[in-house]
Structure 1
Amino acid sequence: MNPVRLQRLEGGVLLALSLLLYWKASGSWLLFIVLILAPDLFMLGYLGGPRLGGAVYNLGHTWLLPGILGAVGILGSTALAIDIGLIWFGHIGVDRLLGYGLKLPTAFQDTHLGRIGRHR
């Protein structure tokens, strides 16, 4: 299977798993709706140019931060941290499923899954 398709499929699995766990944890669906796009605030890094923007965006679109947040929530029995971590994972899953990958330092449209936008 093509690696890009495989990563997109992986994103779909991440989304499905995060939704299932969020449902099992009885998370607030209002909170989910409010926060599902919050990781895109990491795009503000692009105000500092494509190199900084890519680094900041990627920090918010890898499993690193939501994984740490979820672990802190589990270890500290903090449901809100777990919920936010799962929402964040769901966001990353949607992005990967739709083909939005991690950004390269050249431009916002250049990702590890290929070029996005009208100028592919």
Structure 2
Amino acid sequence: MTTVSWQRAENAVIAIAVIVTTLVLGYDWWWLLALFLAFDLSALGYLISPRAGAQAYNAVHSYWGPAVLAVVALTVDARWAGLLALAWAFHVAVDRALGYGLKEGDSFQHTHLGWIGKGRHTPE
């Protein structure tokens, strides 16, 4: 199994863990789906340039944001922050499980997990 395959499998497990955590904490599961596409608004940075798009996309498609929100949720008992942290982590995990990794900056299709889309090719 390649490193990329392991990373994709690992993120599939994270997505499942987020679903279980969502249910255990008493949130409605459908929030994960309702909020799913909101995080892809970060791709609007590509309207400026590939570099700006990659920076915006990568900032939102990292686990740092959900981790900070989870800490906020735990320290000030803000259930909305907990739900948002779970939905955000779910989005990142599903994207990576499907092969949509962090962007390299030259093209939306070039990610840290390899190339995506119809024109996939192996980086040189």
Shorter-chain TM band: over 0.9
CA distance in 1, matches of 2:119, 2:9: 24
Q: Which residue of 1 aligns with 2:94?
A: 94
Q: CA deviation at 1:38?
A: 1.3
Which residues of structure 2 form unaligned runs of 5+? none
Which residues of structure 1 form unaligned runs of 5+? none
Q: Counterpart of 2:110 in 1: which secondary structure?
A: strand
Q: Which has the higher contact order (CA 8 A, sep 6+)?
A: 1
Render the CA deviation track for 1:83-109: whole Å, top value 9, x for unaligned: 110011111111111111000110100
User: How does the TM-score come out when normalised to structure 1?
Assistant: 0.95
CA distance in 2, matches of 1:76, 1:47: 37
Count of aligned positions: 120
Q: Which residue of 2 aligns with 1:37?
A: 37
The one-letter amino acid paired with 2:84 is: I
CA distance in 2, matches of 1:33, 1:65: 18
Q: Percent identity?
A: 39
The one-letter amino acid paired with 2:88 is: W
CA distance in 2, matches of 1:30, 1:98: 20
**Higher-strand-fraction structure:** 1
Q: CA deviation at 1:115?
A: 0.5
CA RMSD of aligned residues (A): 1.0
Q: Counterpart of 1:4 in 2: which secondary structure?
A: helix
User: How does the TM-score come out when normalised to structure 2?
Assistant: 0.92
